Structure 1
Amino acid sequence: MNWLPQVIYKYMSLQDHIVIIVQARMSSSRLPGKAMMPILGKSLLARMVERLQMSYYKATIVIATSTDTGDDLIEQEAATIGVPCYRGSMDNLLDRHYQAAVQHHADVVLKIPSDCPLIDPRIIDQVLDFFFDHRYSYDYVGNLHPATLPDGNDVELMTMACLERTWQEASRPLELEHTTPYIWENPEQFRIANVPWGTGLNFSMSHRFTIDYPEDYAFICSVYQKLYPRRKNFSCNDILQLLENDPAIYEINARYAGVNWYRNHLQELKTITPDQTRILS
């Protein structure tokens, strides 16, 4: 239990208010209503929040959705879960993140999308550990640039000053829609760090733990059914061991491994290369 004094120290010494913002909406073009799909009797969004609450850092979790009436269900679910909800622009997620962070007096902001219900809370802690171990050294710390973990363990951390500057200066549609590209596309303006997977491996293009297609939902349900009853805070390594033992689960959504939003913006993103995404044939 050598980690316990370190955890206590973090709680006692941490002065910054951490806000985790989870973007969620009902109007997904490929899988509408995915945030409310059931997983073992609760919504995917509720399971996602449950995972975030397993972090050993004290943080405010905020659901950021749109003002569209279709997202009334998201606001109602946030109330059921017991977390605050901010409602803003449908398409300008940068503004949605910024306004939610301002409303909740954030010093440090984590952007984690709601399509990551298998996210390992230990990975969230690793990014936060890195940031606070290098206090005042970085404006942005993520694990996506480049990604090495299985897709669906996405963590992007920004100081409030970094997010505010991005909100003031970003203007391209993809920067407004995806919140953080302005930061990592301008490394000369921001102090940026990336936290790679500690194994030295790269499963970002071969393993898919996120949700955008019906097969992803079937995969996620299978993982929860196998692992959750035995260990609620199952890890990324637990999932990988499950897939090694039962390759049929891996195959459920394997055809979508490596498919991400980068594929639609390769001509616009100077820090993204074609080998970081895959286009469905």
Structure 2
Amino acid sequence: MANKILIVVQARMSSSRLPGKVMLPVLGESLLFRMVERLKMIRHEVQLVIATSLAADDDMIAQESLRIGVPCFRGSLENLLDRHYKAALYFNADHVVKIPSDCPLIDPGIINDVLTHYFASPGQFDYVSNLHPATFPDGNDVEIMSMACLEKTWREAGRLLELEHTTPYIWENPKKFSIGNLVCRKGDDLSMSHRFTIDYEADYQFIKAVFEELYPVNSTFSCEDILNLLAEKPGIYHINAQYAGVNWYRNHLNELTTILPEQTKLTIH
């Protein structure tokens, strides 16, 4: 079993709600830099690539990738499945990890655990994530798939949401793929109550506050460290609490058979 693992971080400047979010500054560096810094902490031997689009706006992403020493692959703006697949093809990946660029607080330990689960029984799984069902705080999204799984998806997927979000075709077709899932160790479901991802200005303020509190003391802080901080300083938790549980699923519940209404917040208060 060949084991070249490629982590693909998809990033673009043209976010509709918070344009240029991955380039926002935290402690003197971009959020993209801070996220890559955390990805480099994982134990598994991996190659990182930042996959952006060919749009002129995303020249800035390509320049930042070069500055921080991570290869950049450029592809389709809207068809992220195509961009993901072609990046994996270009870098001769055997296994491909999808981690969104809007997860700058992602815990390297959680990534390790998902990858370890996937590789524990070689060949047992085509795809493993910690998202179906999700139990970790939103913003710790990890999905790993074999290259064969990704290629089959690329060849067969056709719905707009499957192309835009890369992996729905896989988890919507459990008869075609062997699928695994990792749940939060505590048995808690923190996915609807805790939000560590960035899509709104309040998310940026939350992430900035967490980094400013924890990073100077311990640059390798974990998800557990963040949860402890929020328990001690609930004011930080409340910065973006109104968006906890809000995700892209809410706009596609009529198209997704594996997502239940209680797995997303339908309205923002």
Corresponding residue for 1:211? 198
2:143 to 146, 151, 156: 156
1:173-225 deviation digits (Å, cap 9, x = unpaired): 00000000000000000000000011110000000000000000000000000
Q: Which residue in 1 is equivalent to 2:221?
A: 234
Which secondary structure does the structure 1 equivalent of 2:43 belong to? coil
SS in 1 for 2:191: coil
Q: Is the 8 A contact 2:2 2:94 kept in 1?
A: no
The aligned residue for residue 81 of structure 2 is: 94
2:74 counterpart of 1:82: no
1:253 to 220, 237, 240: 240
- Equivalent AA in structure 2 for residue 133 of structure 1: A
CA distance in 2, matches of 1:15, 1:87: 25
Partner of 1:10: none
Corresponding position of 1:193: 180
- Give RMSD over aligned pairs: 0.8
Q: Secondary structure at the match of 2:100?
A: coil
Tell me, in whole angstroms, the C-alpha distance in 2 between the residues paired with 1:167 and 1:218: 36
Secondary structure of residue in 2 paired with 1:97: helix
Alpha-carbon distance, 1:15 to partner: 4.8
Pick one of 31, 35, 38 that aligns with 2:18: 31
Provide the C-alpha distance between the structure 1 equivalents of 2:116 and 2:45, rounded to a whole number of angstroms. 13
Q: Is the 8 A contact 2:42 2:112 kept in 1?
A: yes
Structure 1-normalised TM-score? 0.94
- Per the alignment, residue 133 of structure 2 pairs with 146
Q: Deviations over 1:209-257 (max 9, x none)?
A: 0000000000000000000011111000000000000000000000000
For 1:111, give the aligned amino acid: K
Q: In structure 1, what residue type is equivalent to 2:190?
A: F
Partner amino acid for 1:183? Answer: I
Q: Distance in 2 between matches of 1:268 and 1:22?
A: 26
Letter of the structure 2 residue corresponding to residue 211 of structure 1: I
Cα displacement (A) at 1:58:
1.2
Which of the residues 24, 47, 51 maps onto 1:60? Answer: 47
Q: Residue 6 of structure 1 aligns with which residue?
A: none
User: Partner letter of residue 219 of structure 1?
Assistant: F
Deviation at 1:109, TM superposition (A): 0.3
The corresponding residue for 1:16 is 3
Q: For residue 112 of structure 1, give the secondary structure of its aligned residue in structure 2.
A: strand
Alpha-carbon distance in 1 for matches of 2:151, 2:68: 28
Amino acid paired to 2:191: S
Deviation at 1:132, TM superposition (A): 1.1
AA of the residue aligned to 1:210: T
Distance 2:138 2:161 in 1: 20
Tell me the SS of whatever aligns to 1:110.
strand
- 2:250 aligned to which of 263, 266, 271: 263
SS at match of 1:65: strand
- Paired residue for 1:46? 33
Paired residues, what number?
268
Local SS of the residue matching 2:230: helix
Amino acid at match of 2:154: W
Q: Is the 8 A contact 2:7 2:48 kept in 1?
A: yes
Q: Which of 101, 104, 107 pairs up with 2:91?
A: 104
- Please state whether the residue corresponding to 2:74 is helix, strand or coil: strand
How far residue 135 of structure 1 moved from its aligned partner, in angstroms, is 1.1
- Counterparts of 1:139 and 1:54, CA distance in 2: 25
Measure the CA separation in 1 of the matches of 2:227 and 2:247: 20
CA contact (8 A) 2:50 2:71 kept: yes
